[in-house]
Amino acid sequence: MKQISQLTELKSLMQSNEKVWLLLYKQGSEQSDCAMDNFSKIKRTDKNEVLCFADVNNVRDIHPEYNISSVPSLLYFENRTLKNVTKGCHKTEQFNAIFDKSVFVVTRSHNEKPRKNVTVYTTPTCSWCTTIKRHLQENGIQYREVNVAADQKAAEEMVRKSGQQGVPQTEINGQIIVGFDKTRINSLLGIN
């Protein structure tokens, strides 16, 4: 296990090793100290991988380079490319499972669109609410339904956001659509 003191040292290590695992942590933080303690107990035999660590209290140029905003974070580099980031404190066995890739890692293909955050505010007796939910389902759009007749706080929140009391109201990534405006909904969701 190797301590890294700057970005150039990490990049040099990546030049000569196929797989590099870097634990970014912050000494003195409970979660980070937990992660570093468990990480330091790991014994690996794979000659193609290197385990290293860096304390962000002292090393300031690595986390901005890879857009890491919270620690502890375990960065995995393969052939000089960042492949995965795992956050939080893990037990030694969990770290080993991550190294062995026996845990499931979700990656998005390059042509896959990011999922939209969709909330539909409804009441049980609203026929247009049923129409919009059916439209979303037919187009494979995941959404969260909020029944404002049963949840007074949600009803107040809906009115605060839109200034309207009528349903359905659909919120798509923070934009509110009152009623079933199919053209606008399709445009915001990328439905042809």
Please write the tens of the pLDDT for every residue from 33-77: 999 999 999 988 888 899 999 999 999 999 889 888 889 999 999
In the structure encoding, which two tokens stand for residue 57, read together?
A: 């209290």
pLDDT at 67: 87
Contact 44, 51 (CB under 8 A): yes
pLDDT at 95: 86
pLDDT at 74: 93
Cα(58)–Cα(54) distance, integer angstroms: 8
pLDDT at 112: 55
Please write the tens of the pLDDT for every residue from 86-133: 888 888 888 888 887 755 555 555 555 567 889 999 999 999 999 999
pLDDT at 102: 52
Please write the tens of the pLDDT for every residue from 16-40: 999 999 999 999 999 999 999 999 9
68-to-25, 29, 38, 185 alpha-carbon distances in Å: 11, 16, 21, 34
pLDDT-derived band at 83, boundaries 50, 70, 90: confident
40-to-12, 14, 20, 96 alpha-carbon distances in Å: 22, 20, 15, 12
